[in-house]
Amino acid sequence: MPLEELVEIMKNLREPNGGCPWDREQTPDTLKPFLVEECYEVLEAIDSGNPEEVREELGDLLFQIVFHARLAEEAGHFTMEDVIRQIRDKMIRRHPHVFGAATCRTPSDVVDQWSQLKKEEGKIRESLLEGIPGSLPSLLRAQRLQERVAKVGFDWNRKEDALEQLEAELSEFKDAVLSGEPGAMEDEFGDILFMMVNTARFVGVNPEDALRRTIGKFIHRFRHIEMAAREQGRPLKDMSLAEMDALWNEAKQQESG
């Protein structure tokens, strides 16, 4: 099977004699940045809508998993087979409505059952907020925290209430900026971001996806300015803000055209 072949390739790359010098010197810590990077490249491929890119990036991510499993096997902790067996057993155990006699009629029922099974397994600790990794991107972590507390009723009743609180946070940030106090500005700006994530969650917008799309639009529009400047044989620094703004709007019109 291809997965077994990939595991064998990874073993060969790590061979003390005849393997790859770079692969041999890697550790779980040195590989962490690559694991994160591959996850984001998968997301970018999904956003592109190109199945071939998604396939390639999923392969790169899978290779990182195989790499970590190989390091663990060398240390005597577990093997790739153990990883697959454990997630297989977990999925069967966590889906008794599919593999057992339980009944779940809605996605919400599934989420509630999942949480209950985690609690029975000892996966949910004393605090409702435990178990959300601190290493998550801040927007995603804020969203996950807010989702947790919303399950027990700590949430807005109406979108108007959320928008009103967002406006209040913006006003407090303006006051902090006028005060010129760095600590206050940072605190209030953090409150704005957290409240924006909460508002987005409440109305059904994924904040991480929304920001990633906006960044993509920014890159596309600024690249349009760069290419126009290059065609004119002018350095960007010689362009006026008004000229760049006109090109920016031109790129926006092309997107909506």
Pick the CATH number of 2-89 from 1.10.287.1080, 1.10.1060.10, 1.10.10.10, 1.10.287.130: 1.10.287.1080
Q: Give the tens place of pLDDT for each residue, 9-24.
A: 999 999 998 899 999 9
Q: Give the tens place of pLDDT for each residue, 231-241.
A: 999 999 999 99
Q: Report helix, strand and coil shares of the chain as percent, to nearest 5.
A: 75, 0, 25
Other residues' Cβ atoms within 10 Å of the Cβ of residue 208: 18
Whether the model pTM is above 0.85: no
pLDDT at position 1 over 80 = no
pLDDT at position 108 over 70 = yes
Considering just the CA atoms, what is the radius of gyration of the chain in Å?
Answer: 24
Q: Rounded to whole angstroms, how far apart are CA atoms 150 and 147?
A: 5
> Residue 41 phi/psi, 5° resolution?
-70, -30
| Cα 137 to chain centroid, rounded | 6
Percent of the chain topping pLDDT 90? 82
Mean pLDDT of 70-81: 97
pLDDT tier at 135, thresholds 50, 70, 90: confident
Domain locations in the chain? 2-89, 156-205, 209-256
pLDDT at position 179 over 90 = yes
Q: Quote the Cα angle for 246-248-249, to 5°.
A: 65
pLDDT tier at 124, thresholds 50, 70, 90: low
Mean pLDDT of 197-210: 94
Percent of the chain topping pLDDT 70? 98
Q: Which of 77-81, 131-135, 161-165 has the least mean pLDDT?
A: 131-135
pLDDT tier at 132, thresholds 50, 70, 90: confident
Stronger pLDDT, 208 or 60, i.e. the higher one: 60
Say if residues 191 and 169 touch (Cβ distance below 8 Å): yes
pLDDT at position 119 over 90 = no
Q: Which of 150-154, 157-161, 231-235 has the least mean pLDDT?
A: 150-154
**What CA–CA distances, in Å, run from 18 to 5, 21, 23, 28, 138?**
18, 9, 11, 21, 42
